[in-house]
Structure 1
Amino acid sequence: MSVNSDNDLEGQIAEWRAYTQRRRELHHTDAEELEDHLRSRITELTEAGLRADEAFLIAVKRMGSLDELSREFAREHSERLWKQLVLPGEPEAPAAARTRRELPVMVLCAVVAALSIKAPALFGLDLASGDHGAFYARNVSLFALPALAAYFAWQRRVGLRVIGVLAALFVLGAVAANAYPLADDSQTLVLTAIHLPLALWLVVGVAYAGGDWRSDRRRMDFIRFTGEWLIYFALIGLGGGVLTAFTVGTFQAIGIDAEGFIQSWLLPCGATAAVIVAAWLVEAKQSVIENMAPVLTRVFTPLFAAALLAFLVAIVWTNNGIDVERDALILFDLLLVVVLGLLLYAISARDLTARPGLFDRLQLALVVSALIIDALVLLAITGRITEWGFSPNKAAALGENVILLTNLAWSAWLFLGFVRGRMPFARLEQWQTRYVIVYAVWAWTVVLTFPLVFDFA
C-alpha cells in the first residue's frame, strides 16, 4: 500500500470518526469499538487483495448493515458514493442505553485517591504540620494518578499484562521518588517533583489507550482528553475555592473555626478526588457538548502569536539578551509548552481533509515565533553552561529546550509543506502523537538518572 493511499484512507476514516464523535447518543467507547470494527474489516479486505479505497467502500457498507450510525452518516453526506452505499435496506433497532456503572466506580476511585493523601499521616507524615513538604512534593502524583489509571483500566477492560506494566511503572516512580536521599533544598528534588507527575501522567495515558499505546489515534485521543481534563479540573478548583470561602464564613458566623478542617481534609482530599472526578466528567460529557480545548485554542492562538511576535520585535529593538535564571527558564519553558498545546488541540479538532486557511497560517506564525525564541533561549543556556558549568537545573533546561526545539522545527517544516499544498495534514498529526514518546522518555530520565548523575545535589 502506497503512502498516498495510506493518507487517503486515514483521511476517510478521520472524517467518519469525526461524524461519530458528534453524535450525542454515541458514547466514546462505543465510537472506538465501531472504528476498531471498521479498521479490522479494512485490514481483512486489503490482505485479501483489494485496494485501500475499495476496502473502505465495502467495509462501510458492511458497517451500515450492522449499525444505524453508518446509515445516518451516509444520509447526511449522500454526495459521495461510499456514503450512499449503506442506504439500502431497513434500519436496525437503536443501540441500548449507555451503562451507568462508571459513576459508582468513579466514586470509589475518587474516595481511594482522597484517602491516600491522608495515609502518610498514619506514619507521622502530617501534611498540615508543614514539616514534611518535601515528602509531599515528591509524592503528590502518586496519590491520585494510580487511582485514575485503575479507573481507566477498569473502563477499558485491559488485560492482566497491561495492568502489570502499569503497576510496575507506578512502583518504579514511587521508588525513584523516595529511595534517593534528596535534600529538601536540592535541585534534583525540585526536578523530581516537576517531572514525575509528567512521567506518571503518560502512564495514565497507557491505561486510557487500553494498552494500545502504539496507536496514533489513541495517543491523539489521550491528548484531547488531557486538554479537556485540565479545563474541567480548573473549573472544579474554582468551584472548590468558592465552597471553601463559604464554609469558612458560615462557620465563623456561629463561632466555629473551620480552617483546620479545611487545611487538613477538605483541600488535600478534595484536590486529589477532583483528579478522578474531572476525568469522569470529560468521559461522560464529551459526546454531549463540544470540546472546550479546541474552542479556546481558536481564541488564544492569534493572541499568543501576536505576543510572541511583539516579544521578538522588542528583542531586536532593544538588543537585550534573555535572562537564563531559573524562574525565567521555567517561564519560557511553560510558554513553549503552551504553544505546543495550542498546536496540539488545533490539530485534534481539525478536519484532515480541509484545505489550509487563515487559521493555519496563524498557527504557522505562532510555531515559527516559538521556534526562534527557543533557539535564543538555548543559546543563552549554552553560554551560561560554558561560563559556570553544568548543574541539575541547567542540564534539565538544556535537554527540555532541545526536545522542544526539535518538535517545533519539524512541526514548522510540516506546517509549511501543508500550507503550500505539498504535504497532507495527517503527517503533522502523526508527528505530534509519536513525539509524545520522547517526552515520556525524557521525564523518566530526569526522575531516574539525574539524582545519581548530580550526586543528589
Structure 2
Amino acid sequence: MALDERPALDDLVASWRDWVGRRRTLSEPDVDELEGHLLDRVDALRAAGLHDDEAFLVAVKRLGAVDDLSREYARVHSERLWKQLVLDEGAAGIGPDGRATDAAGRPLGLARRANGLAVALLLGVGAGVAVKAADLLGAGPDFLLRNAAILVLPFLAAWFAWRHRPPAGAMAVVAAAFAVAAIALDAYPFAGAPGTDAIAAQPGMTEVLAATHAAVALWLVTGIAYASGDWRSDAARMDFVRFSGEWTVYYVLIALVGGALSMLTVAVFAAIGVDALPVVGEWVLPCGAAGAVLVAAWLVEAKQQVIENIAPVLTRLFTPLFTLMMLALIAAAIIQWNLVDVSRDLLIAFDLVLVVVLGLLVYSYSARDPLAPAGWFERLQLVMLASAIVVDVVVLVAMLARIGEFGFSANKAASLGLNAILLANLARAAWLQLGFLRGRHPFSRLEHWQTAYLPVYAAWAAVVAIVFPPVFGFA
C-alpha cells in the first residue's frame, strides 16, 4: 500500500473511539483515558519504525479487547454502572453527588432522568390497549391480521424517538409510512377465501401477503427513528440490524416464559374450579404479545451495551447447523428432481431457510470485530453462502417451472421476486466474502453491501403490500 493510500491516524483513532464509546460502561472521561493509553502505545511503535496504521493495529491489539475493557470498568465502577443502567438511562455519567449528568457534566433534568423501563411499560400498555380496543370495537380477525403492525409498531417508533431523539423530519417520514400503509390496507376490498357452515371465511392470499409484507416494511421504517434519522449511515443501519437480532431473541424468550406462565395460571385456577382460559386467551395473550414488543426493545437497549453481546455466541452456534441444513436441502432437491411437481411446502421451507440464513449472516457481521483477520468461521460462512445460492437457484427454477405449468398467482409472484432479490444479495455477498478471505479488500465492504441492501427489501415489501392486491384482484 502506498503511503498516501494509508488511512490517517486521526481517522483510525476516531473510528476506534466511536466503537469503544458504544459501551455504556465507559463514560467520556473513561474513553479519554483509554485513548491516551492507546496513543502512548502508538507513539512508541512509531518510534520503533512502524507506519501509522501498523502502529495503530498493534497498539489496539496490545490494549486488549473492548469487551474485556468494558467488563473491567464495570467491576471497578459497578455502582455507577447500575445507577446508569437502571435509574438514569439517559445519563452519560454520574456526578460526585451521585446524580446523573450529561456529557458535559451538567445534572440532567427530571424528564431526561425518567426511568426507561417505566416509559417502555407505558408504551407497551398502550400497544396492548390499541390491539384490544380494535378487538372490542368489533373490527374482526381480518382487521387485526392486516393492522397488527400498524397497531403496535407506532409505539415502538415512539420508544425509539424517546431514546434516540430523531429530528422532526425523520419522524414525519415514519408517520407518513404508517399512514399510507393503514389507508391502503384498510381501503382495499380484499376478498377472503369462502368458508363453510363449520369454518369461517379465511383471508385471501393477497390479504395475507399485504399484512406480512407491510409488517416487514414498517419494521424497517421504524429503523429511521432508531438511527436518529441518519438512515444513510452504514453504522446506523448495522446497529439496527444488531438491535433486530437481539430483539428477536428477547421476544422469543419472553413469549416462551409468558406462555408457560399462562398455562400454569390456567391450571392453578382450574384446580379450584375456575375457568381462566377465556380471560387468558382473550385478554392476557393479545395484550401481552403487543406489550412484549416494547419490553423486549427495552431489554435490548438496556443490556446490549453493558453485558457481552450474545450475537457472537448465537452466530457461531447456528452457522454450522444452518450450513448442514442447506446441504440437506440440496440433497432433498436432487432426490425430488421433478421441479414442476416439487412440493409447495418444500419450496416454502426453502424460502424460510434462505431468509434465516441471510439474517444469520448479517447478524454475524454486526457482531464481528472489523479489525479481526479472517479465520475458519469466515470460511464456513462462505460454504453456507455457496450452499444458499444453490438452494436459491433450485427454488427459482422450480418456481418458473410451476408458473409455466399453472400460471401466475400472487403467492408465486411474491416468492419469485423475493428469491431473485435474495439471489442477487447472496451472490454478491459470497463474492465479497471470498475477496475478504483472500485479503483483497477489508471487512467493511461486506458490511456496506448488506446495509446498503436493506432498502431493497423495504421497497419490495412495500410493493407486495400495496401494489400486489389490486394487480391480483384482491383475491
Q: 2-side partners of 1:78 and 1:184: how far apart?
A: 69
Indicate yes or no: 2:72 matched with 1:71: no
Distance 1:333 1:314, change over 3 A: closer
Q: Given residue 25 of structure 2, which amino acid in structure 1 is its aligned partner?
A: E
Q: CA deviation at 1:76?
A: 6.4
- Does structure 1 conserve the Cα–Cα contact (< 8 Å) formed by 2:230 and 2:236? yes
Report the TM-score when normalising by structure 1.
0.82
Q: Which of 187, 192, 197 is the matching residue for 1:179? A: 187
Q: Which runs of 4+ in 1 moved over 6 A?
A: 6-11, 82-85
1:244 corresponds to which letter in structure 2?
A: S
Aligned to 2:138: 124
Partner residue in 2 for 1:265:
283
Q: Residues 455 and 316 of structure 1: is their aligned pair in 2 closer, same or farther, counting only changes over 3 Å?
A: closer
Q: Offset at 1:159?
A: 2.4
Please tell me whether residue 103 in structure 1 is matched to residue 117 in structure 2. yes
Q: Distance in 2 between matches of 1:307 and 1:253?
A: 44
Please tell me whether residue 402 in structure 1 is matched to residue 400 in structure 2: no
Q: Distance in 2 between matches of 1:307 and 1:3?
A: 46
Q: Distance in 1 between matches of 2:36 and 2:331?
A: 51
Q: Distance in 1 between matches of 2:325 and 2:272?
A: 50
Residue 122 to residue 237, structure 1, CA distance change in 2 (3 Å)? closer
Provide the residue aligned with 1:156 in structure 2: 164
CA contact (8 A) 2:157 2:226 kept: yes
The match for 1:424 among 424, 433, 442 is 442
Aligned to 1:414: 432
Report the Cα offset of residue 325 of structure 1. Answer: 5.0
Between the two proteins, what is the percent identity of the paired residues?
50
Deviation of 1:69 (Å): 1.1
Aligned 1:32-431 pairs, distance under 5 A: 67-75=29-37, 79-81=41-43, 95-96=93-94, 97=100, 99-125=113-139, 132-185=140-193, 186-316=204-334, 319=337, 321=339, 326-431=344-449
**2:409 partner letter:** S
Query: How far off is 1:226 after superposition?
Result: 0.1
CA deviations on 1:25-46 (whole Å, 9 max, x unpaired) are 24xxx8xxxxxxxxxxxxxxxx
Q: Which moved more, 1:135-144 or 1:436-445?
A: 135-144
In structure 2, the CA distance between the partners of 1:116 and 1:5, relative to structure 1 (3 Å rule), is farther
Given residue 148 of structure 2, which amino acid in structure 1 is its aligned partner? V
Judge which range, 69-78 or 268-277, deviates more.
69-78
Equivalent in the alignment of 1:52: none
Range moving further from structure 2, 328-337 or 408-417? 328-337
Q: What secondary structure does 1:79 align onto? A: helix
Distance (whole Å) between structure 1 residues aligned to residue 183 and residue 336 of structure 2: 48
Gaps of 5+ in 2: 44-51, 64-79, 81-91, 95-99, 102-112, 194-203
The answer as to whether partners of 1:109 and 1:276 remain within 8 angstroms in 2 is: yes
Taking the aligned partners of 2:9 and 2:145, their CA distance within structure 1 comes to 48
Distance 1:451 1:3 in 2: 55
Please tell me the residue identity of whatever aligns with 1:146: P
Deviation at 1:309, TM superposition (A): 2.2
Is the 8 Å Cα contact of residues 191 and 446 (structure 1) preserved in structure 2? yes
AA paired with 1:234?
Answer: V
Give, as a single letter, the amino acid of the residue that structure 2 aligns with 1:102: G
CA deviation map 1:37-69 (0-9, x unaligned):
xxxxxxxxxxxxxxxxxxxxxxxxxxxxx7331
Question: What's the offset of the Cα at 1:18?
Answer: 3.6
Deviation at 1:278, TM superposition (A): 0.2
CA distance in 1, matches of 2:36, 2:424: 41
2: CA distance, partners of 1:110 / 1:322: 47
Could you say if the C-alpha distance between residues 165 and 3 of structure 1 is closer, same or farther in structure 2, counting changes exceeding 3 Å?
farther
- Which residue identity lines up with residue 123 of structure 1 in the other structure? L
What is the aligned partner in structure 1 of residue 108 from structure 2? none
Whether the 8 Å contact between 1:324 and 1:381 is mirrored in structure 2 is: no
> Distance between the aligned counterparts of 1:119 and 1:195, measured in 2?
24
Contact 1:14–1:351 (Cα < 8 Å) also in 2: no
TM-score, reference length from structure 2: 0.79
Please say if residues 297 and 345 of structure 1, whose CA atoms lie closer than 8 Å, have aligned partners that are also in contact: yes
Taking the aligned partners of 1:173 and 1:239, their CA distance within structure 2 comes to 32
Question: Structure 1 residues 455, 321: closer, same or farther in 2, change over 3 A?
Answer: closer
User: C-alpha distance in 2, partners of 1:189/1:253?
Assistant: 42
Structure 1 residue 281: Cα displacement = 0.6
The residue identity in structure 2 corresponding to 1:67 is P
- Tell me which residue corresponds to 2:20: 19
Structure 1 unmatched runs, 5+: 31-65, 88-92, 126-131
Is 2-11 or 312-321 further displaced after alignment?
Answer: 2-11
What is the RMSD computed on CA atoms of the aligned residues?
Answer: 2.7
- After superposition, the Cα gap between the structure-2 partners of 1:378 and 1:358, relative to the gap in structure 1 and judged at 3 Å, is same
For residue 329 of structure 1, report the CA deviation from its aligned partner.
3.0
Deviation sequence 1:237-256 (CA, Å, 0-9, x none): 01101210121011112221
CA distance in 2, matches of 1:10, 1:263: 56
Q: 1:345 to 1:294 in 2, by over 3 A?
A: farther
For the 8 Å contact 1:156–1:210, the answer to whether it is kept is: yes
- 1:355 match: secondary structure: coil
Q: C-alpha separation between the residues in 2 aligned to 1:434 and 1:322?
A: 35
In the TM superposition, what is the alpha-carbon distance from 1:289 to its structure 2 partner?
1.4
